[in-house]
Structure formats: structure tokens, C-alpha cells
A and B are shown apart, each in its own frame.
Chain A
Amino acid sequence: MKDNRHLTVFALTKYIKRKFDADPHLQGMYVKGEISNFKQHSSGHMYFTLKDEKARILAVMFSRYSRNMKFLPENGMKVLIKGDVTVYEPTGQYQIYVKEMQPDGIGDLFLAYEQLKKRLEEEGLFSKTAKKTLPPYPRTVGVITSPTGAAVRDIITTIKRRYPITNILLFPALVQGGQGATSIVKSIELANQRKEIDVLIVGRGGGSIEELWNFNEEAVARAIFASKVPIISAVGHETDFTIADFVADMRAPTPTAAAELAVPNIDDLLERVLNRQVRLVRAMKEKIGFQQQRYHRLKRSYAFRYPQRLYEQKLEQVDRVTEALRKSASKLSVTKAEDHLKLLRRLERKHPDELVKVSKENHFRLTKRLERSMGATLSEKQKEFAGMLSTLEALSPLRIMERGYSLSYNEDGKLIKTVSNVNKDDKIQVQLPDGRIHCVVSNIEESEGNA
């Protein structure tokens, strides 16, 4: 038979769940409490109980929400939560499905911290390349912290113990409370104005996050970044990370550690100096030893022990060479004498006496021949001459005149060849073979057709 009065557990649970889901006040609601029974599943989902003094509620945070959280929840932690309340049907338990969670109390500070950190990081204030290197042997260490408290004592005693030859200058600063940031910034600027500061320690001892808060402020971060003097941050304990720690050139986990980072250990340095001195002496000893050995080796050498051996051999050599020289010199002179004799003989054979004799005979013979031929030529020429003379005589005009011809000359002695050579009354001479007739031209007749 049908029973319509009784609901199934499932139906009831579904009904209750619908009531929860329909209530707008249970969706996207805010709740605060303390975490207990915290468990994180390997899937990343978180399961815990949120409680206060009087009540508790189961809570679930799925990994897709918890993934981006900036902190890891833990038991006892007070948190602020935003989520939806609904029923988990298999167990019939209502629970809150957490979508956002942040630590309670410091929630705003926490957010501010995260935001500032992100912004400064993007701006490059944390960049490794911007970090300055710490001086190895600072002559003056500047310390910016409260002049009272454990931090300043730890820093000063540590520096004095490790490196007593350095000076310390303390810049008293407020390191908590509203004026803290301004005080720290001013001290950093003052330290930069004083030229003697080689390295700065900025910090304070442990405390709550509110007490450390000055070191999370932007002004402090920027002052650290702007500092020309390298800065070591030393804020709180090992686990405390402040913005100042990220900007500083070096982060020390504690004030004591900051002092250790700031100065070397003098014992190490003394040992180093000593070690260098030992090495110097050893190197020099080795050097000298080596040169001494060289010197002794040379001194013991054969040449130095028996110096005469060096020249005895040479003397012998000189003798041998001298002998050879003498021999070859005499041999040379003999050869040369022979050569000379040979040449002399040849010269004698070539003596010019013979040549002179032959030449003289030749000369005599030639003279004779010359005389003979000259005589013959002369008589021949004389005969020729006589012939020519008689021919000449035959041609002489005197001979022609002997046949009745005469020559007429004018007063100047010029031969008259034509009637035009004379004028009437000219005195002319007529040459005959046996004398001259002086005449006067009485008349001139020109022959016909002889013009």
C-alpha cells in the first residue's frame, strides 16, 4: 500500500537543501572564524571547520578557489571568508563552500602588502641587477634602528666581536608606530649625506605584523632603493618577510645575521694575511733555493773545477794549427818559386832580341828595295819630263811667232784680241820673238763681216 505521509530521507534532504539554496542571505555571504581540523586533499581541495567560542560549521574550499591564495591556512588561524552555505546531501550536513579567504585582523594590511609588493616588483625595485654589492671591509657601518632593544645590542656586539676595527654610527629611528616610516626614511637620507658610511643596516627585532609594518611601507621601500649606500635589511625573525627585505641589497634573517653580513671576521682576515705572508716567504725561499742550486751546479761544473783543461786543449790546438800553417806556408813558397822559374823561362824564350834582329834584316831589305825602285822611277820620270818639255816647246807661242805671228798689247799690258780693244792714238806694243815694237794707232779698220 502506498504511504504518502512518509518522505524518504533523500527527499527530505533535497527539500532542506532547496531551502538553503533559495535563501539569498546564504549565498555570497561573509563569515569570520577560526580554522580547525584543517586538511588539504591531494586534489588541492581544503576541508576544515570554522568555529568560534560558541559554534562551528564545516567548510570546503575547492582548489580552483584556493589555488590563488597568498597564504596557507592553518589551525588556529583567524580568517575572513566569503562563500555560499548549502547542504551536502550524502551526509546531510550543511557547510560553507568557501570562495575567498584572507587572514582576519590584518586583512587590509595583508592586501596592501600584496598589492605594494606586486607593484614595486613590476617597477623593478626588487631586480637583482639593481642590487649593490656590499663593501668587503667597511670602515664605518651605519645602523638604522631603535637605540633601545635587542636589535641594536645584537648588531653592535656582533660587529664589535667580529670586526672591532670598524666604526659604528647609530641613526636612532622609530621602528614602529605612525611616525616610523618617516623616521626610517629620514635616517636613510641622513646616512647617505654622511660620506663615511660604507654600509647600512636597517631593521628591528621581532614583533607582530603591525609592529613590523613600517618596513612594508612604500616610502621606506623607495628610500632603500634610492640609497647610494648598500643596505642590509634585518627585520624581525627568519620567517618575517617585509617589502624592505625585497628592496634591500641584502636581506638578513635577523639583526645578528645582518651584522655578520655587514663585516668580515677579523680572525679570518688575520689568518688570510698570515697565509699570504707565509706564501710570500715560501715562494721567495723557493726562488732563492732554486737560484742557489743553479749557482752550485755551475760552480761544481767541470769547467770551473779544472779551468786549465779549458785552455790546454786550446793550446794544443794552437800548436797544431801553427805547425800546419808553417808547413803550408813553406809549401806555398816552394810552389811559387817554381812557378816563377817557369814563367822566367817562358819569358826568356820570348826575348825580343831575335825579333829585333829579324826586323832589322827586314828593314835593310826593304830599304834596298826602296832605293832600287826609287832610282828606276826617277830616271823614268826624267825621261818623261824631257819628252813633255819638247812637246811643251813645240806648243810655245814663241815657236808659232817664229812662223811670223806677233802679239799686240795695250798700254796696260793686256793682249789685244779685237779692234775694239784699241782706240786711235793709243800707244800699243807689238811683241815679236826677238823684241818689241812701240806703235801708235793711226787708223782702225774693222774687217767686213767680222763684227
Chain B
Amino acid sequence: MPEEKELTFEEAMEKLEVIVEKLEEGDVPLEEAISFYKEGMELSKLCHNKLKHVEGQLTKILTDDGQTVDFVINEEE
């Protein structure tokens, strides 16, 4: 599936749900089912990757001059 704009987790999950339900309903012609399946597998991979992609997630604090800087919890408090 060509992705013009990457789906958000929410969008991908919604699409995946719809596809799973359609496929489970069973009235889909085989060719269509195969393309649904392909798309569904890609979506589930996408969802999985998004959930596993922890790097780059940040905890920041807004400073008085409107900048954001990394925030580390002060355990002493």
C-alpha cells in the first residue's frame, strides 16, 4: 500500500478493525479478500511498529522563556 501520508496509530487501528470484520463476515470475493488480507497485515505491522517505536519519545519541561528542555525527575523531593 503506498502511503502518501503516514497513518496515525488510531487511524491504522480503525482501518485494521474494519478489515478484520469485513474478512470475518466472509461474503468477500477471494481476490478482494486477498487484498484486504495484505492491507490488514501491513496495517497490523504498522500498528505494531508504532507501539514498539519507543526511541525519540521525550519528557520535556517548558521554561519561562517558552523553550522546552529535557526534564528529569528529581527523586530527592
Contact = CB atoms under 8 A, between A and B. Distances in A.
Interface of A: 135-137, 139, 147-150, 152-153, 156-157, 160, 164-172, 190, 266, 269-270, 272-274, 276-277, 279-280, 283-284, 286-288, 291
Contacts of A152: 73
A246 B24 CA distance: 43
Contacts, number: 107
Interface residues of B, number: 38
A276 B17 contact: yes
B10 A287 contact: no
The interface centre, meaning the residue of A137, A160, A190 with most chain B CB atoms within 10 A of its CB, is A137
A442 to B, nearest CB: 145
A136 B62 contact: no
Given A153-B73, A273-B16, A165 B51 contact: yes
Given A156-B73, A287-B26, A137 B9 contact: yes
B61 A170 contact: yes
B8 A137 contact: yes
Nearest to A290: B26
Interface in B13-33: 13, 16-17, 19-20, 23-24, 26, 28, 30, 33
B5 interface: no
15 contacts: A137-B9, A137-B10, A150-B77, A156-B59, A156-B71, A156-B73, A168-B60, A169-B60, A170-B60, A272-B13, A276-B44, A280-B23, A283-B26, A284-B23, A291-B30
Interface of B: 8-10, 13, 16-17, 19-20, 23-24, 26, 28, 30, 33-34, 37, 40-41, 44, 47-48, 50-54, 57-62, 68, 71, 73-75, 77
The interface centre, meaning the residue of B28, B47, B57 with most chain A CB atoms within 10 A of its CB, is B57
Nearest to B22: A283
A149 B74 CA distance: 8
A131 B20 CA distance: 32
Given A266-B51, A270-B51, A279-B24, 18 more contacts: A137-B9, A137-B13, A147-B61, A147-B71, A147-B74, A148-B74, A153-B77, A156-B59, A156-B71, A164-B54, A273-B13, A273-B51, A280-B23, A280-B37, A284-B23, A284-B33, A284-B37, A287-B33
B42 to A, nearest CB: 11
Contacts of A153: 73, 75, 77
Contacts of A283: 20, 23-24, 26, 37
A124 to B, nearest CB: 30
Contacts of B30: 287-288, 291
Contacts of A270: 48, 51-52
Contacts of A136: 10
A269 to B, nearest CB: 6
Contact of A280 (B41, B52, B54, B75): B41
Nearest to B34: A284
Nearest to A273: B47
A33 to B, nearest CB: 38
A149 to B, nearest CB: 5
A276 B40 CA distance: 9
Contact of B57 (A137, A167, A190, A274): A167
Contacts of B60: 167-170
A171 B77 CA distance: 18
A280 B58 contact: no
B20 to A, nearest CB: 5
A169 B58 CA distance: 8
Nearest to B40: A280
Contacts of A139: 8
Nearest to B54: A164
